[in-house]
Structure formats: C-alpha cells, structure tokens
Amino acid sequence: MNDSPGWATPGSSPSDGERPGAPADQPTPPASGPGWSAEQPPPGQWQSPAPQAPPQPQPGQGWGQQPGTPYGGPYGGQYGHPGGPGQWGKPPAAKPGVIPLRPLGLGEILDGAVATMRTHWRSVLPITLVVATVVQVISVVAQKYAMSDLAVTTDPDADIDASLNSIGTSMAVLLGAGFIGALGGLVATAMLTMIYSRAVLGQTSTVSTAWREARPQLLRLIGLTLLMALGAILLFVALLLPGILLQNPGLAIAGVFAAFPLFAWLWIKFSLASPALMLEKSTVFKSLARSSKLVKGTWWRIFGITALTTIITSIVSAIIVWPLTIVGMVAFGGGLSGIEDGTASTAWGALILSGIGAIIAQTIVMPIQSGVTVLLYVDQRIRREGLDLELARAAGVENYGTTGG
C-alpha cells in the first residue's frame, strides 16, 4: 500500500453477497473459526501487513479495493454481526488520524473537520486564504463598478429602459464574478479533499502535494459541478414552465413549491459525488452513481448533518462579515443617508471592510464544509463496505479487525 490517498472504485458491497476480489464464477469460501458470520472471511485474512513493508497496490488501485481484501461483512470493518464475539466491551477503535476507524457520529464528523483544520493548518489555511482573497478582490471590484451604475430611485418618471440596461449590465458583471468565485471554490474543494484523505490516516500533506494529487481530477470535478447546476436549472424550468405558458400564477407557485423539496432530495442524493470522484479517481457519471448508492437508506441522516453544518457555518460567517459591513457603511458610506440612497454599499471603504470580513469567514468556513462532506463519504463507506480495514492497513495499524480488537 503506497501513501497515495487515491481510492479505487470498490466492487460489490458486502450486501451484494460477494467477496471483493473473488472471480465471478467462484463461490465465496466458507467462514472458519467459531463465532464468525457466514458473510465474513476467516480472521486470518485480516492480519495487517508488517509495518516495514506494506503491500503495494496494482496500478489504478488505492484504498477502495485490493485483490483478496475483504470488506468485513455487512456491518463493516471490525464490528462483525450483532451479538458476535467482541461486540460488547471492545477496546476503543484505532484512531491513526483525525477520526476513529469505525462508524462516526455527528460530533465525531464535525470534530474531525475542525481537528484537521487545526492540526494541518499549514496546508489548509494557505489554500483557503489564497482562494478567498482572489475571489473577494474580484467581487469587490465587480460590486464597485457594477453597482455604482445601478441607480436607486423612486422617481416614477425615471427612464425604464435605462434602468433595465443598468440592471442587466450589473447582473452580468456580478454573475461573472460569481462564476470565478465558484471556480476558485472548486479548486479549494479538490485540494482540501486530498488533505482530508491523508488526515484520516494521520499523514500530513503539503499544498504542492495536494495540488499534484487533485489536478488530474479537477476538470472532471468542474464538469460534475456544471452538470449538477444544469440539472437544478432544468428542474426549476420544467416545473415552472407549465404555469408560465398557461399564464396561471397558482400553477407556477405550485411548481416552485414542488421544485424545492425535489431539488433538496437530489442534492443530498448526489452530495457525496465530489469526494467519490476525487478519491476513487472515477468519472462524472460513475461518481454520481456511487453517491446515490452510498446515500441510499441514510438520506435523512446525511441531510441532517449537512443542514446543521450549513447553519453553523452561516452563523459563523454572519458573525464575522456583518459587523464589518455595517461599520464600513456607517464610517465610509455616509451613514444612514448613504444607506438610504444606496451609495453606502458602493463606497470603497465599505466594500473593502466587507471583503476583509468575507475573506476571514471563507478561510474558516470552507475547510469545515469540505471536511464534513469528505468525512461523511468515509463514514458511509465504513458502514457499508468496511473501509476501516483498508484505512487501518494504509495507516500501518497492526492486527486490526481480529477478535482481539
């Protein structure tokens, strides 16, 4: 096993009734030894390699699957079946990195994300700081020159065509800045994913190493993101179009109410596609299928953790950004009169202070959001595919998965 964090796409999960690595026409060998589930291999096959000479994978393989490597039964890893030997009173799970190698709880996922940012800050913070700074500089300039031309007036005799042209120009500039921001966020997410994959093993990663490992999959990640964005747009258009064509406001409103829950369901269903694509070195459509398989049966749990993370990070961002924004508007935007006529939001001082707050917030929030997604992916694979065995082997944990713990 090399130290590369890339994860090869696993084969059938334990629930498919096959032992990974076995030929399709060869039956699964019977389990041996007392107390072992029929779906688990003999304990002797789970011995970790000698730490001084870990096995090397074949080209294209990583943590996901190696020939003859078991996943550990339908309950994943060292846990066996309910009521099996060692099920009660087991010693604490091995923890070579930021998480214990067992199914994770909400607190452990959030703690793992924060612990990675705190322990590996030399790799994490430069990535998010650079990306956040570039994005905010572009955003501040775009707001200054786009919003300055957007007149705010209550005059009923104002030129409507000029106002519409101003709005169109401003929106185009802001959308362009938003696209650049999204692109920067994708680069940061790709690199952070590789850092978190190593942090799970207790390994460090430099910025250059993270970039080198993330770069081959970056175009696919961009394609995945654009595909999901296009799907969301088509979803809303399809549900709104009947009401618009029939000029029926009630039907259009019903389409909006139907679109949001459907969008949320699809978003969570494919929320693990990004780490699957990066860590399994898979294609766009295979990563979507992997995410759907991993999320199946646990949609509400993943939705709850994702929603809670979004709420926490939004609160943190608001606490940092809004005070600086208000101070900037009052101090540099002409006070209440500037806020009333709209000039306060385009003053250089107010924009710069707001941008500084956004840089600080994104530098802190971005690693947490990316980390929770990666750790949710790891957690689901531990629960479904016994990934903890492969992680333990990669981290050099001896005798992991045996009856002795």
Q: Would you list the domain boundaries of the chain?
A: 112-377
- In one-letter notation, the amino acid at residue 279 is L
Is pLDDT larger for residue 118 or for residue 178? 118
Query: pLDDT value at position 143?
Result: 79
- In one-letter notation, the amino acid at residue 287 is S
Query: pLDDT value at position 175?
Result: 77
Question: Does residue 306 register a pLDDT over 90?
Answer: yes
Lowest mean pLDDT: which of 66-70, 110-114, 145-149, 388-392? Answer: 66-70
Q: How confident is the model at residue 326 (pLDDT cuts 50, 70, 90)?
A: confident
Lowest mean pLDDT: which of 79-83, 222-226, 373-377? Answer: 79-83
Cβ-proximal residues to 325 (8 Å cutoff; 6+ apart), any chain: 350, 353, 354, 357
Question: Does residue 375 register a pLDDT over 80?
Answer: yes
Is pLDDT larger for residue 339 or for residue 303? 303
Query: pLDDT value at position 141?
Result: 85
Query: pLDDT value at position 116?
Result: 94
**CB environment 85-118: b (16+ within 10 A), e (fewer):** eeeeeeeebbbbbbbbbbbbeeebbbbbbbbbbe
For the chain, give the percent of residues with pLDDT over 70.
Answer: 67
Q: Dihedral sign, CA of 39, 44, 49, 51?
A: positive
Q: How confident is the model at residue 224 (pLDDT cuts 50, 70, 90)?
A: very high
Is pLDDT larger for residue 69 or for residue 346? 346
Cβ-proximal residues to 133 (8 Å cutoff; 6+ apart), any chain: 359
CA 66-67-71 angle, 5° bins: 65
Question: Does residue 110 register a pLDDT over 60?
Answer: yes
Q: What is the mean pLDDT of residues 35-56?
A: 41
Q: What is the mean pLDDT of residues 50-62?
A: 45
Q: Locate tokens 């572009």: which residue? A: 138
Mean of the per-residue pLDDT values of the chain: 77
Is pLDDT larger for residue 337 or for residue 244? 244
**CB environment 166-190: b (16+ within 10 A), e (fewer):** beeebeebbeebeeebeebbbbbbb
Closest CA to 233 of 277, 266, 187: 266
Q: Locate tokens 């690595």: which residue? A: 21
Span 165-192, pLDDT tens digits: 667 666 776 677 778 888 888 999 999 9
Closest CA to 395 of 48, 105, 80: 48
Give the single-character DSSP code of 89. S
Lowest mean pLDDT: which of 6-20, 230-244, 245-259? Answer: 6-20
Is pLDDT larger for residue 68 or for residue 268? 268
Q: What is the mean pLDDT of residues 279-299?
A: 95
pTM higher than 0.75 for the full model? no
Q: How confident is the model at residue 103 (pLDDT cuts 50, 70, 90)?
A: very high
Query: pLDDT value at position 188?
Result: 92
Is pLDDT larger for residue 358 or for residue 55? 358
